[in-house]
Amino acid sequence: MFGNMIANTFINPFQSPVFDDPNKYGLVYEDVTFNAIDGVTLSGWLIKGSTDKVIIQSHFGVQCSRSGYRPKGMMKGYDKDIEFLRQAKYLNEAGYTVLMYDFRNHGCSGEGTVPFITWGQEEGKDVTAAVRYISNHPDYRNASIGLLSICMGQGASVAAFGSDDSLKQFPNLKTMISVQPMDYDCFVKALGLPEFIARSTSKAIQNRTSLDFSDISWRRYVKDVTVPTLVIQNRNDGYLDEDFINGFYDDLHVDKEMLWLDIPKKKGGAFPNRAAAYDWLGENPEPILGWFNKYVC
């Protein structure tokens, strides 16, 4: 029973709405849709800036959408909305076009061929679809592309480098910012679940998805990443596994930098503080713009 209840919070689709609107930020945009290689329809915003440089943002999983995170229910990950359009605003003001989209089984996108969230494996098809959409778009086919990939979004991006339909086929993809890498096993370990509950949860997930999340982790594809990568991680993330982060960084065989944040924990410790780094993205343009300006040109 406990395993099924926890599995619901880990993999059930469509847990967070698209709650924000680019109009609120004065952004010029259009609603767009495009298809992944398996036919899943993805929905997004194309925020219009320069035609020669584009940032594709991939959000974190489960309780998130292209617009960010809105606390709801009993298991809140943060105490306020996290609005991803804030970073879209400063990127756009710096001249970038920004594509923000919902992963399959999230927001306004379609149900996946696996109708559950898979922590990066299936979602990697969506990252490739977003890069292909920009690469084939008549206005942006000559643009350089950077990836802003957040938590599961970065797992999906890494998985896309190692897939049969690999990101390696796009020479216009120039760089990636990887925000707080974590795979399923790392997350379960960080939660500190008793072993019998962890086993029960994994069994419930496998019964629903026919997938063993330990076997399909994106972690094995890190060696396949081919673009310069900035890794961002908060030292005060309550789910931090430094060995995992350091191992991820060591396995990147590209130009790379590590940016450790020191965001204080909130008083009372009511939240694990992981989401603080996602909120930080919208408030701190300098490191993000500095990295993208170096490679996306």
pLDDT tens column, 16-34 = 999 999 999 999 999 999 9
pLDDT tens column, 106-156 = 999 999 999 999 999 999 999 999 999 999 999 999 999 999 999 999 999
Distance CA 40, CA 50 (A): 28
Residue type, 94: A
> Would you say residue 269 has pLDDT above 60?
no
pTM above 0.85, yes or no: yes
> Which structural domains are found in the chain, ordered by start?
2-295 (3.40.50.1820)
pLDDT category, 197, cuts 50, 70, 90? confident
Dig out the tokens for 89 from the structure.
């605003």
Q: Tell me the mean pLDDT in the region 86-105.
A: 98
pLDDT at 297: 86
> Do 125 and 38 form a contact (C-beta atoms < 8 A)?
yes
pLDDT at 230: 99
